[in-house]
Amino acid sequence: MADWVQGDGQHLADVLDGGLSVAQADSMIENVVGVYGLPMGVATNFRINGKDYLIPMVVEEPSVVAAASNAAKLFRHGGGFQTQSDAPVMIGQIQVLEVEDLESAMQAVLDAKATLMAKADMVGGSIVRRGGGARDLTVRAIRESAVGSMLVVHLMMDVRDAMGANAINTAVEHIAPDIAELTGGRVHLRILSNLTDARKAKAWGTVPAGALHHDPSEAKRIIRGIVEASAFAEEDPYRATTHNKGVMNGIDAVVIATGNDWRAIEAGAHAFAARRGSYTSLSRFREDASGDLYAEIELPLAVGIVGGATRVHPTAQLALQLLGVQSAQELAEVIVAVGLAQNFAAVKALAGDGIQKGHMRLHAKQLALAAGAPVEMVAQVVDIMTREGQIRLERAKELVQQLSHTTE
């Protein structure tokens, strides 16, 4: 890794110190005026399906990386995380309006399913050559809406190692004229769905009671507290939203580090959390038959290791190399395990002392820096503010001034 050189000759140190040049950024989006830096850290202790991973995480929030690493260490005592994922199948939607006879139009689409799928494969390019392509095609009716009835066609397509937005959008646009002809209706929207529930990843793992506390009755109390917190999130949308935000702290950080589309992942995760009509938690925690803590999580995760920004962003390339994942599915499985670790860390802290204790020290560090403390003074300012229980910017400024005088 030390002599890592990217395709265009960028060296490791340059990539880690900002990564993206203004010229590269200019080729990615419009009206570029600069690049915006975020911290990238590496979470440790992750063992997933018996393999060790270093996890690159890009996040601005203190304590996320440390919490993920600590949680992974506890799961490691139980053998690490196990994961599973669906094939990388994306869903493309075609909206059909002004259909006279919904039933016979739906039948016509279903009768032409094989032809439509073969036609979609014609524009699948290298994805089809790599073993991907159309997997299924369904149609359903929405009988009442603000604009009357409509049909919705879903094309399911395996996009291999890509996130697959372009491939699925191209495919639905390509078969749309045939859908119009078959149904006698007017085709309107043709676009992927970000509710990628044919492309889910799940992770589970066990934290042995003994790893939580050396005193068995204390360990039992901790497990009970975590299970109670889980039950709260399973039943209450207000709690579930915050519970899932904790999941996404971990997930987004790896999604961003690897150059993937975090808005797509966020949209899919929350829609999936509401799939039963009421918003619930993406994970759950239980005490198992041996008295240990069992945790599991499942959500849609459409991430790629090719295409989009994964190829263009030098730091994303480095992050993928650090992870050493070989497929989009493996990346999704790593990400879902990080989500579970992050979630566990937050729930454990909340069910114990509360999160403020650890968080406030990190907050104090940020305040000390914001108050202008030189790096060598930060620890001292943090110590004093924590001891006094006065973690405020004004106090940090006073201390920086006082300490600067004493060292002059």
161 flagged as catalytic: no
DSSP letter, residue 287: E
Quickly list DSSP for 107-121: HHHHHTHHHHHHHHH
Among 12, 222, 271, 306, binds ligand NAD (CB under 6 A): 306
Interaction mask 188-227, ligand NAD, x per CB under 6 A: ----x-x---------------------------------
Contact by Cβ (8 Å): 46, 203:
no
Catalytic status, residue 261: yes
Using alpha carbons only, give the angle 105, 109, 114 rounded to the nearest 5 degrees. 165
Site for ligand NAD, residues 86 to 125, rule: CB under 6 A: 125
Closest CA to 194 of 319, 301, 41, 72: 301
Read off the tokens for 181: 């002809």
Closest CB to ligand NAD: residue number? 307
- Find how far residue 387's CA is from the centre of its chain: 37
Nearest Cα residue to 162 out of 203, 129, 114, 118: 129
Cα distance from N-terminal residue to C-terminal residue, the chain: 42
Check binding of 80 to ligand NAD (CB under 6 A): no
Is residue 341 close enough to count as binding ligand NAD by CB under 6 A?
Answer: no
Q: 245 an active-site residue?
A: yes
**Separation of alpha carbons 363 and 41, rounded Å:** 17
Asked if 182 contacts 109 with a C-beta cutoff of 8 angstroms, the reply is: yes
Angle formed at CA 257 by CA 200 and CA 329, multiple of 5 degrees: 30
In this structure, the chain runs to a length of: 408
Tell me, residue by residue from 126 to 165, as one string, x for binding to ligand NAD by CB under 6 A and - for no binding.
xx--x----------------------------xxxxxxx
Question: Shortest Cβ distance from residue 267 to ligand NAD (Å)?
Answer: 8
Least distance to ligand NAD from the beta carbon of 213, Å?
43
Choose one: 39-47, 280-288, 304-312, 354-362; the region binding ligand NAD (CB under 6 A). 304-312
Query: What is the smallest separation between the CB atom of 164 and ligand NAD, expressed in angstroms?
Result: 5
Choice between 161 and 333, CB closer to ligand NAD: 161
**Contact residue for ligand NAD among 166, 380, 386, 390 (CB under 6 A):** 166
Select 171 or 378, whichever has its Cβ closest to ligand NAD: 171
Cα 86 to Cα 126: distance, rounded to the nearest angstrom: 21
Q: Which residue is catalytic, options 158, 261, 292, 333?
A: 261
Active site residue 266: no
The catalytic site residues sit at: 61, 245, 261, 359
Residues in contact with ligand NAD by CB under 6 A are 125-127, 130, 159-167, 192, 194, 261, 264, 304, 306-309
